[in-house]
Amino acid sequence: QPLTCRWKDGRLELIAGERRWRAAQRAGLKQVPVVVRDVPEDQTSLEMAIIENIQREDLNCIEEAIAYQQLMDEFQLSQEQIAERVGKGRTTIANTLRLLKLPAVIREDIVSGALTMGHARALLSLESADEQLAIRDMIIKKKLSVRDTERQVAQVVRTKNKPDAKTPGSPDVHLKNLEDDLRRVFGTPVRIVGTMDHGFIQMTYANREDLMRLADKLKLSENQTPSA
């Protein structure tokens, strides 16, 4: 891959490819391929290097999002300006940046390839990190496709949008803790609707096999409950 340079004050200035240049020096190479770009004076070498890095084919979407954020933070570029520089639509830039809002473990899954960009887009439809992590666990354990993941997310969203019996005010901490405990025990998203005195529990399952798994767990829990 050639080095990227630009003319500045009558000399070639290296913009991207410093590691390749140093490797060529260590190897004793007298010549290396170079691409000379017409880069505006107000565009710094670092900014250009980041843009060159973004345009690599082997860059994963999290690395790409981090690079976009760096351009915004260090060079005060807007999403529109980034889109113009890298040759992509502003919506693409915005959607990629949203990946940085996902919990760290999910971002790591995307980098490792355990989750795809399609899985990530579906998870971004969920508002809370707990919900995202619960569906993420389902994806990993049950090897859900992107389509199955979208169905699970849609079901969680529909459930949340239904009117419930909760009284106005802040969520009950005890109920939240119980939801988390039940989610860990049953390995599926769980929602408690109501109060500590009355209400109902909602569970999400991916398919018939998953439903039977939950039914077996409930039977086992019932059999283990001591009699009064």
Active-site residue list? 18
Element (H, E) at 156: helix 146-161
Strand ranges of the sheet holding 11-16, from the earlier edge strand across to the other edge: 11-16, 3-8, 34-36
**Counting Cβ atoms within 10 Å, is residue 11 exposed (0-12), middle (13-18) or buried (19+)?**
exposed
What DSSP state is assigned to residue 149? H
Q: How far apart are CA 184 and CA 192, in angstroms?
A: 14
CB 110 within 8 A of CB 120: yes
**Residue 204 near residue 211, CB atoms below 8 Å:** no
Taking CA atoms, 11 is separated from 8, 95, 134, in Å, by: 5, 39, 56
In the chain, where do the E strands start and end? 3-8, 11-16, 34-36, 190-194, 199-203
For residues 182 and 217, the answer to whether their CB atoms sit within 8 Å is: no
